[in-house]
Amino acid sequence: MQKKLTLGYSPCPNDTFIFHALATGIIPWPGGLDVTLADVEELNGLAAGGALDVVKVSTAAAAGILDEYVLLRAGGAMGYGAGPVLVARKARTLASLDGSDVAIPGERTTANLIFGLCCREAGIAVNRVPMVFDEVMPAVQAGRVDAGVVIHEGRFTFQKRDLVRVLDLGVWWEAHTGLPIPLGAIAVRRSLGEDLARRMNEAIRQSLLFARNEPEAGCDYIRAHAQELSEDVIRTHIETFVTDYSLDVGEAGMGAVSRLLAEAGCDREDIFIGL
């Protein structure tokens, strides 16, 4: 009998949309799943410690876990027009932040990696202040930091907090690479074997396809975990972060991940499962 697997993903609408059917047994998994929902940076830490069998991680964080984990082709967050946003209380330039305190949603996040690349290109140095993603905008509003990198639903709600965009990091990435921005991916322990990894990849694909075909089925599950309860924000969040790349990264998606991981100092070829 197959043992129960541990599965971790974030409470954000894109993840709960994708995983609802799998987590609730609509898409069955032999042996069952023990599900953990946690902030993406917490998940990055759990993956770094090898604490979960299957886990959603920031793509940047994958650079540090590929000895123990392999990435699936399904279930991730990737696309165009979906990047993190650097915000401040008033209009300013990136260059003007030289020497400033800037909040980041975790040191291992893709957002932090791309923000660092932007700063390097601009020739500036900032003091990055790590915090949980939903603490970033309040910290900027209160003046505890000079600016902040917002992710998830913050991309759609920062203006409601009277914050202004300094730089769209996704647009910056796309302009410099011509590639979609690879925000997050699903990692599976290599020790579980290629067959299980392929079956998990297909189960996640089927869970996403179910969600697309039966969009009302997971609404209560998604709302129960969402930080922002506005129906418009939840819908826009899902439409932005759940793309065809979430079904399969494809060649362009694998190229984007390889490029990002190279920027993180990881140059290897065995990143994804083979199908």
Q: CA–CA separation, 183 vs 44, rounded Å? A: 13
Q: CA–CA separation, 81 vs 64, rounded Å? A: 26
Fold that domain 85-177 belongs to in CATH? D-Maltodextrin-Binding Protein; domain 2 (3.40.190)
Residues 82-130 have pLDDT tens digits of 899 999 999 999 999 999 999 999 999 999 999 999 999 999 999 999 9
Q: CA–CA separation, 139 vs 152, rounded Å? A: 16
- Percent residues over pLDDT 90 in the chain: 90
- Beta-sheet pairing, 69-71 with 147-150: unpaired
Residues 30-74 have pLDDT tens digits of 999 999 999 999 999 999 999 999 999 999 999 999 999 999 999
Tell me whether domains 5-79+181-263 and 85-177 share a fold: yes
Is the per-residue pLDDT at 219 higher than 80? yes
Average pLDDT over residues 14-27: 98
pLDDT at 258: 96
> What's this model's pTM, rounded to 2 decimal places?
0.94
Fold that domain 5-79+181-263 belongs to in CATH? D-Maltodextrin-Binding Protein; domain 2 (3.40.190)
Instruction: Quickly state the pLDDT bin for 227 (edges 50, 70, 90).
Output: confident
pLDDT at 23: 97
Nearest to 82 by CA among 102, 111, 40, 109: 111
Kindly list the domain boundaries of the chain, sorted by start residue.
5-79+181-263, 85-177
pLDDT at 275: 72
Average pLDDT over residues 14-22: 98
Nearest to 140 by CA among 152, 154, 124, 122: 154
pLDDT at 76: 97
In this structure, the chain runs to a length of 275
Query: With the CA atoms of 158, 225, 246 and 116 taken in that order, what torsion angle do they form, in degrees rounded to the nearest 10?
Result: 40
79 burial type by CB count under 10 A (0-12 exposed, 13-18 middle, 19+ buried):
buried
CB distance 70 to 270 below 8 Å = yes
Average pLDDT over residues 12-31: 97
Residues 233-255 have pLDDT tens digits of 899 999 999 999 999 999 999 99
Q: CA–CA separation, 85 vs 70, rounded Å? A: 28
- Region of residue 148 (phi > 0: left; psi between -120 and 50: alpha; otherwise: beta): beta
pLDDT at 105: 94
Contacts of 69 (CB under 8 A, 6+ apart): 47, 55, 62, 187, 188, 189, 190
C-alpha R_g of the chain: 18
Name the helix (H) or strand (E) containing 250. Answer: helix 250-263
Q: What angle do CA 230, 239, 20 make, to 5 degrees?
A: 80
Average pLDDT over residues 177-186: 96
Is the per-residue pLDDT at 1 higher than 70? no
Q: Give per-residue burial for 112-140: e unless 16+ CB within 10 Å, then b.
A: bbbbbbbbeeeebebebbebebbebbebb
20 is catalytic: no
Cα atoms in the 13 Å half-sphere on the side-chain side of 28: 3
pLDDT at 226: 87
Tokens 């410690």 map to which residue?
A: 49
Token reading at 170:
């996704």
Contacts 24+ apart (CB under 8 A), 232-235: 233/153, 233/156, 233/157, 234/13, 234/153
Mean pLDDT of the chain: 95
Q: Of the residues 20, 152, 225, 237, which is catalytic?
A: 152
